[in-house]
A and B are shown apart, each in its own frame.
Chain A
């Protein structure tokens, strides 16, 4: 036990000695909340905000009521464009022509055509045009309704069928975008944060001849591997905790209620997520150590491991995109945890069998990797990178 403690202490010393390298390793965890907030902000703006649109009207004087209605929807006349936005709207060049006989045709009940001209290949033109379209349709409909009403028609006849959408999600389900991204980032944090530590303590130590010296000591290779595993996965776990804490702190800066959503992470949920991801941290570090020891040089380890971590980190993303999920996904490491995280955020009951199953499988794989590695370290081939 004393031996093991000494080994672990050595690993931690090595890890925490270079503060800058450590900060870079954990940089991902700091970056995640910023990404999530940024995405959420853009999404909310797209969904809710209706920035002013400036349209070049000709014949605006013929349709004062229509102009008022458009102004109510923040669709304004180009003559009123503020100086700093002038070039933008000059370039977008959305023009609407109102015919001179507008008032006459309106009074006589004849159909009126307004012409909207714009370059429809310009992507920036599309949202304003869509808004103009719906505002004019709404205006037209409201006049149509009144025309019929004043002719003694029951205007409810105009809506024979209405589809009412009923969302069966739990009322306390969180905003899907944030929870999905957070799920992916948590998994990535587990894989990314401990990465450099794992490579350094394996391939790195081998090149610095520290490994050889370690193996000369009268300690079992299992203890050495376990110490390295714990060292690397500690950093991975810190990354996970950081992502959780920083996200729940920073989420307060975005007004999710604008789109009828909320996000809150209470203590018990956070602790559950940490416990759920703990085995993943070990698995990630074990994988990284295992692969790094197989390589011939530090450089090769960096590129190979860097590439390999992409694969497991990609799984939660794929899982979240899948519409029909086969049941065995519940059991596998990573995909199992991703699905559980998803149900936590949806507010539905967690499938405890799946929690234990996926954790069990994860731990078993980790154990297998550790044992295999301990065995391999007894061979010269691995230690000298001869294989």
Chain B
């Protein structure tokens, strides 16, 4: 059973298609990243999954339950952290946690234990009695995460949890997410930070309401560029001979000369397979291989390539 599944999900505002035929399949136990620039339709998609917005068309299932028909039931599985800080600013950290816990029927000693655990986990103990409105941006986000987890949800839906958060704290956040994921929580997270997407098990790239690419980060890169890149560094004297040998492994993307050294950029099906074979083949022909490794392609490159045509 999938944690979240959407089928031809569409949302139209007036004559603007915010979400267009989106099919998401989020397996249980993964960190699924929904990636895209601002205005791509990520928030609208999440809100429909949470049952906060009525879809114009399409179906949504959370752990096999139809969100539109069984919203009450589905809500217990989902912990949600909206993009905008949405807790009561005139209540303290503790009061916010206590209130939301009570709405899920967690009260008394059970609630106290759960709240203490969350305060500890997200380093909120010293802010326990401070008004939520008086907290700094990062602390607010930590509180929002704590509240989203107050009822021990199986699925965590996070809308731009790290927007406007400074880099060290962003890393801390991702540490929390991986920890939670290890404990079995399925996470659906949106972001427009491409570097964060590398942490996800699975990704969907969204652009103008549509999913333009889907898969694991490396799958997406391979799909978009038609393979992976390997850089082979050689002495200049060997270049002619080497290129003809290298063409057997894939296509030559680029040849760069750096004094008496040349760097050949090679596009192969799988870098993992190609690297040792390239080295063995060249050395068999007595060519000195100065270096051979896969090139890291950032998702940003992928994204730029994907949307190049449409902008």
A and B are partners in one complex rather than unrelated chains: no
